[in-house]
Chain A
Amino acid sequence: MFTEVLAEAFLTILKPDLLLWMMTGAAAGVLIGALPGMTSVMAMTLLLPFTFTQSPERGLAILLSVYVGGMSGGLISAILLRMPGTPSSIATTFDGYPMAQQGNAARAMGLAILSSFFGTVVGSVLLSVSAPPLARFVLSFGSFEYFALSVLALSVMVSLSGRSLVKGLLSGLFGLWIATIGTDPVEGVPRFTYGFTELQSGLALLPVLVGVFAVSQVLREANAVQKEYLLPETDYRRFLPSIQDLFKQFGNALRSALVGVYVGALPGTGGDVAGLLAYDWARRRSRHPERFGRGAEEGVVAAEAANNGVIGGALIPALTLGIPGNAATAILLAGLTIHGLNPGPFLFRDHVVLVYVVFAALFLSAFLVFTVQLTCIRLFVGTLRMPKYVLLPVVLVFCFVGSFVLNNRIFDIWVLLGFGVIGYVLEKGGFPLGPLVLGVIVGPMAENHLRIGLMTSMGSIVPLFTRPLSLGILCLALASFLGPMVREWRKSCSA
């Protein structure tokens, strides 16, 4: 049954015209993902109307190729410019950019492309094999488990704090405060809106992230007047990693891809959280944790394998429960509902071929994106290799457009600029930006789930510590928070 339906699904999508569409979608996704400020979500949103006229199978296959392309494309600007093309590539900048600065840009991109491909393949295999049982497991998560999970995610701040733990935590707290701006999600009370109606729905994540990373980077680069080109020279002779490198990174890539699939399956999380968690895990497991942040190959592999593993993971609750794990899967579900199909358990019963088409299309998209990136990497890099006086203003215009089209609001461009300045100033003061972003992303999840959990337990916090899953995750979070602090404190005091 499984193989028959899967074969039928592959036959449905292995048609020349659809493959051409998917290839074009993959290339468009990679290019849009590579432009700072443009995301895979934006690419999918822009393309969604074009799929209306297609059959659901074809429409979903094209959207998936754009999604995978967009997620992978972010690595190019993350490595070359330290500007994550998509929020999911944030962790890739940590080591990818230092590698590029050391003249190893091609190697970093080669590793990242292979890791992205590997992450997507692992995600698609796991999606097709384990979707129903894993979805049942995720369904057993209550609010306390989600709260514990967000505490675990916040504990990563310690690892992202770099030289000064105090500065890292302050940056993270600033991010947490930013996340509270807007209407209180439980009681509907406006917080920190100061009379601005635009603030009632909170600050959109995209302008904040693009401002903090891309605009601040543009301002920094603008000051380096002696440097005509932003991109370092790229030697493509060492583009593809050797077989030994692949063996060396296999465990790290597999572990990170699994983290990505798992995190992706949790609604409300995404490639950014997965990338950060996998990066942190890779650092802890590494024999040379001191190299992380300075061009460690393991860091690039972990971040990219994880953020692409998210794709398969996010589709698990999306298809089986009808719960979108992130904005991209929400668009995929919108694509389904537009065609009159209801995502959820009934989809597996009534449209089983369609479900397997999704599995097959994701698998195929991984190969298409991989092919596009391998063959056209020089073209994509060439697009970014313009003189600085051309590239920086163009990047800014893309950032403006990306922030504007999100909600068609000029206000979001102001937010973009504001956070560009904040990121620029904070970094000049030696404050790391990773914790800030982590706070913005994870803050709402932590607060909402704690409050909803307390409502369901009639105000008792006890279930947080008595439910085995939440207790286990909390213990992990505690170890993750205190472990590095104690270790570093001991080391420095004994030195």
Chain B
Amino acid sequence: MRSDTIFGIAFAVLGILIFGSTVTLPERLFDYVGPRLFPQVVGVLMFVLAVGLVMKGKKPGPCAGSHAGTLPAIAEEATAQVKENDDREKIGRRYPVDVALLALCAAFVVILPKVGFLFSTVLFLVASMVVLGGHRRISIPGVVILAILLAGSIYLCFVKILGVILP
């Protein structure tokens, strides 16, 4: 299945969910629009456009892609960048680094309130530097020392100098 079709289906489902969730909201109390209307319009438009995306993915018309290369190419450039990165990653990737890094982020947020900012940051920095291949350049002890120095500097900067309260 093409990615446009998958995204189209996902957005169509989200549109339905948004519209469906508004049904439980009170219609209106004292204003003339109420809390429902705005998200309902968003949900309906999202559904319609998502169906359009699915259809467009299946049947490219003569004017399909009419905006290609003419309007600001933010998406275009970004997509190109993503593809470029993907090509690079095919060369030397052994595991999905993005997923691993994301899992480490989630682990950091889970342990942060339990063990505090300093310790959790050291752990996070060591683990993420290893995931990103830092240990191949400066060895594991080097990574640990660097992580302690970095976490300590960030902690000092925020807590001691700027007076920020961290867990």
Q: Which residues of A contact B (CB under 8 A)?
A: 46, 49, 94, 98, 158-170, 173-174, 176-177, 180, 184, 186-187, 189, 191-192, 215, 218-227, 283, 289-290, 292-294, 299, 387-390, 392-394, 396-398, 400-401, 404-405, 408, 410, 413-414, 417, 420-421, 424, 427-434, 447, 450-451, 454-455, 458-459, 484, 488-489, 491-493
- With a cutoff of 8 Å between Cβ atoms, the chain B residues found around residue A289 in the complex are 70-71
Measured between alpha carbons, how far is A46 from B106 in the docked complex, in Å?
27
Query: Are B42 and A162 in contact, CB atoms less than 8 angstroms apart?
Result: no
- With a cutoff of 8 Å between Cβ atoms, the chain B residues found around residue A397 in the complex are 121, 124-125, 150-151, 154
**Listed residue (A170, A427, A428, A432) with the most chain B CB atoms within 10 angstroms of its CB:** A170
Residues of chain B from 21 to 72 with CB closer than 8 A to chain A in the complex: 21-22, 25-26, 28-35, 38-39, 42-43, 45-46, 49-50, 52-53, 56, 62-63, 65-72
- With a cutoff of 8 Å between Cβ atoms, the chain B residues found around residue A167 in the complex are 7, 53, 75
| Chain A-chain B contacts (Cβ-Cβ < 8 Å), number | 269
Closest chain-A Cβ to B36's Cβ sits at a distance in Å of 9
What are 29 A-B pairs at a CB distance below 8 A? A159-B71, A169-B45, A170-B46, A174-B46, A177-B18, A187-B31, A189-B35, A192-B39, A218-B101, A222-B97, A226-B88, A227-B88, A283-B72, A389-B129, A389-B134, A390-B150, A392-B128, A393-B132, A396-B128, A397-B151, A400-B105, A400-B108, A420-B105, A430-B75, A430-B79, A433-B74, A434-B74, A455-B30, A492-B66
Measured between alpha carbons, how far is A458 from B30 in the docked complex, in Å?
11
Q: Which residues of B contact A (CB under 8 A)?
A: 3-4, 6-7, 11, 14, 18, 21-22, 25-26, 28-35, 38-39, 42-43, 45-46, 49-50, 52-53, 56, 62-63, 65-79, 81-82, 84-86, 88-89, 91-93, 96-98, 101-102, 105-106, 108-109, 112-113, 121, 124-125, 128-129, 131-134, 137, 146, 150-151, 154, 158, 162-167
Among B25, B68, B108, which residue has its beta carbon within 8 angstroms of that of A163? Answer: B68
Query: Are B93 and A223 in contact, CB atoms less than 8 angstroms apart?
Result: yes
Closest chain-B Cβ to A60's Cβ sits at a distance in Å of 20
Q: Residue on B with the closest CB to A226?
A: B88
Closest chain-B Cβ to A446's Cβ sits at a distance in Å of 8
Measured between alpha carbons, how far is A283 from B70 in the docked complex, in Å?
11
